[in-house]
Amino acid sequence: MKLLTVAKKTGAVLKENVPRFLRNNFEIISTKRSKIIGAVIFIITLLMVVIFSGAFTSQAFSTRWVLLAFALSCPIILGLCAGYSIVIKNELANKIQHIVVLFLMPIVTITMTEALNNIFIYNMTYLGFFGNYVIVLIFYLIFFAITGRLGLSYLIVNPVLFGLATAHSYLMDFRGTPFLPMDFLSVSTAVGVANTYNYTPTYKVITASLIFIFIIIIGVKTKTPKFTLLTRIISRTFAGSFCAVMLLLFYGTSIFADIGIKPDFWNQTRGYRNYGFVYNFFCNTKYLYMSEPDNYNPGEIDNYVSGVVSGNEEDKTPPPDNSYTKPNIICIMNESLADLQVLGQFTTNEDYMPFMRALSENTVKGNLYVPVIGAGTSNTEFEFLTGHTTAFLPSGSNAYMLYVKNPIASLVSTVEAQGYSSYALHPYYASGWRRTEVYENFGLNKFTSLEDILDISLMGLYQQNGSDADYLQSLIDQYYPGTKMLIRQYISDSYNYDLLIEDFENRDKSQPYFAFNVTMQNHGGYTTSSVNFNECIYTTSTTKAYNKTNKYLSLVKASDDAFKELIEYFKGVDEPTVICMFGDHQPSVESAFIAEVMGVNDLSKLTVEQTQSRHCTPFIIWANYDIEEKQIDKLSSNYLSSLVLETAGIKLTKYNKYLLELSKTLPVIDTVGYIDSQGNYFKWSDASPYTVLLDDYEKVQYNNIFDQQNVNSNIFYIDGFSPRTTTGQTGE
């Protein structure tokens, strides 16, 4: 009874005092305008969630209904937050509240960015959460130091982070790799293919958008309390000084890197998942600058090369007599060409690359390890043409966009030094990856691009009419009747090879012929069908139908058919000709398919061997005359052009010989790590007996790319030859 009496008295006191406390210290205010805004936000956000509710219900994870319930409750919360404001009457409490909100807001921001990163903050490591928190707080403090207004800091920082994280979310869906700072430099290239993807809002985008709207409402409603002039000066000075010190320590020293605050260079996708988007994206900005290798000395470059070649620099080419003719050399980098069975076994209704598998006579073929997955074509192209590896460049960087700013030694300079003409063909926009400028610096004679193949205004009409592949096909039928030019919205491999053959037939026959061709048919965006595309391949052993994968495999079958046509043509050519064809990277198809065939649940937790398999594409070197047949299990793309030159039997630079010797010890060097001749796999963070060898290779490469004033021409060029600064001709 006594307890009951005490409880009643306590309840009566609380009932009387709590309302009084709330009345005396808090006030709920609103205006007609704010209520209208709140109602509009409620209606718009509710419609957004309802219209795109399928983005939640179509998911396979068990919490999809909880996430949908959260999304459906958000419009009410957002409407109330926009329509009404709670005012704290006590001045000191109001100031404390703003400080508390300042330290809570980074958590809300991280929740927003990680929703787009497809993880919850409780899935992050402690270091990852702390790193994201500090970075967001620093951004807030920087703009507070500049403006003196906390609300404005929220309104400046969060739209930027939301935009970056949204780009990351779509890039992960489209290409399977994260958004890195270097991607800003490839915006013009990305715009050219952006219309081939599906931008329907995902559950990640919807969830993050709701959180973003909440943050914007808070930012608009946050009014910085009136502090004294001295307090404002001290607080802004402290905020600015703190940020300056942190940024100086991060960018100017290795303190943070030494304690583990750095990107996961070996597996950026895993790093973004474990440590969060903001943390990884901005940690990567530290590595945009290419620093000189430790103990680099241009005078030692010749020693590094000679130490590997072991003085064996005699010319292995046939003696110059009337019986020897330098073979024509055609190199084809086939867009997204891969045999996905390197990931794991699966069956299809019919073989999707029967000709390539069967080709064996006068053929060298095998598995090529490339630096990228799903995108980043030009980095593979750079490795092939130069013999350099992007593994020594800042993680996520793009060599064409950043580093090929001057004439540079390459496969092109090597063949041109021996009297070859040179031709480049890419049936898409010339500006992609700065190819026009890069090809000039390589010294290519002529470059044919999409602008030279068709009336480019048709592409404008196509884009203005919803980027519908069938509409583009109708335009082609109208302006180029009877021409089988396209598969989907891209120039087909078959038509691409027709253009190549046409140039070959019209060449200057007084010179041996060199051509470098980058195809376009298999480019990503495997979501839509088209009247000009025969989808004939589908998997028969997977647990469900993977539409993107089936479309992709059907494209590979079309590539196989086209390559057969090309080889059949050159079988009838009397002049000796060598053709090299290789894939630039694996495609970005369903992650669920990749996980299923690899037998894993989480693609961010692959072993080094499994990760390397995702970087594997096929390569074929074929000749229309007798050459030694070989099957090469492992070779990285930085070695391939030297192998082509050796197969063709023409003169090699010292650098070519160096690479061929190096490949005998380390047949694979890529952005994942490296593989030695005994089949041992290494990550870049591993201690290994090859450290000195790799350090020397990095210095040799640095000399050619970055140290133009001291470049060792005797290593990279033949007989003092150097590339021209202009192509002399672009287009037809």
CA dist 642 and 411 (Å) reads 8
CA dist 205 and 545 (Å) reads 25
Cβ distance 558 to 534 under 8 Å?
yes
Host H or E run for residue 491: strand 490-491
CA-nearest of 209, 165, 244 to 55 is 209
What strand order describes the sheet that includes 363-369? 446-448, 421-425, 513-518, 328-334, 577-583, 616-623, 363-369, 630-636
| Judgement on whether residues 430 and 564 belong to the same structural domain of the protein | yes
Residue 331 CB-half CA count within 13 A: 21
| Judgement on whether residues 176 and 274 belong to the same structural domain of the protein | yes
Decide which of 35, 65, 89 is a domain's last residue: 89
| Judgement on whether residues 445 and 583 belong to the same structural domain of the protein | yes
CA dist 406 and 428 (Å) reads 24
| Judgement on whether residues 513 and 539 belong to the same structural domain of the protein | yes
Decide which of 231, 253, 288 is a domain's last residue: 288
Residue 728, SS3? coil
Q: Which amino acid is at 149?
A: R
Tokens of 372: 């990228």
pLDDT of residue 190: 61
In a domain, 15, yes or no: no
| Judgement on whether residues 502 and 571 belong to the same structural domain of the protein | yes
Ordered alpha helix ranges (H), 276-339 = 277-284, 301-309
Q: What is the pTM of this model?
A: 0.76
In a domain, 729, yes or no: no
| Judgement on whether residues 446 and 581 belong to the same structural domain of the protein | yes
Angle between helices 457-464 and 469-479 (to 10 degrees): 150
| Residue spans of the chain under pLDDT 70 | 1-26, 89, 182, 185-197, 257-260, 264-267, 311-324, 723-732
In a domain, 216, yes or no: yes
- Cα 409 to Cα 380, 389, 395, 396, 436, distances in angstroms: 16, 14, 23, 23, 17
In a domain, 16, yes or no: no
CATH for 406: 3.40.720.10
Count the neighbouring beta carbons within 10 Å of the beta carbon of residue 82: 24
Decide which of 220, 253, 288 is a domain's last residue: 288
Q: What are phi and psi of 672, to 5 degrees?
A: -80, -45
Tokens of 717: 């060029």
| Judgement on whether residues 351 and 416 belong to the same structural domain of the protein | yes
In a domain, 17, yes or no: no
- Write down the residue that tokens 């010179």 correspond to: 511
| 237-243 contacts at long range (C-beta below 8 A, 24 or more positions apart) | 237/145, 239/141, 239/142, 239/144, 239/145, 240/141, 240/142, 240/145, 240/146, 242/138, 242/141, 243/138, 243/141, 243/142, 243/145
Residue 684, SS3? coil
| Judgement on whether residues 365 and 384 belong to the same structural domain of the protein | yes
| Judgement on whether residues 221 and 276 belong to the same structural domain of the protein | yes
The torsion angle over the Cα atoms of residues 403, 407, 408 and 414, rounded to 10 degrees, is 150
Beta bridge partners of 632: 366
pLDDT of residue 727: 41
Give the domain range for residue 40: 25-89
| 8-15 contacts at long range (C-beta below 8 A, 24 or more positions apart) | none
Which residues lie below 8 Å from residue 4, measured CB to CB, with a gap of 6+?
none
In a domain, 268, yes or no: yes
pLDDT of residue 145: 92
Q: What is the CA radius of gyration of the chain?
A: 30
Ordered alpha helix ranges (H), 222-287 = 229-252, 255-258, 268-275, 277-284
In a domain, 7, yes or no: no
pLDDT of residue 730: 38
Count the neighbouring beta carbons within 10 Å of the beta carbon of residue 443: 23
Tokens of 448: 């044919």
In a domain, 391, yes or no: yes
| Judgement on whether residues 50 and 152 belong to the same structural domain of the protein | no
| 247-256 contacts at long range (C-beta below 8 A, 24 or more positions apart) | 247/138, 250/286, 251/286
Q: What's the domain count of the chain?
A: 3
pLDDT of residue 568: 97
Tokens of 381: 């192209």
**Tens digit of each residue's pLDDT (9 = 90 or more) over 625-653:** 999 999 999 999 999 999 999 999 999 99
| Judgement on whether residues 312 and 442 belong to the same structural domain of the protein | yes
Q: How long is the chain?
A: 732
| Judgement on whether residues 279 and 303 belong to the same structural domain of the protein | no
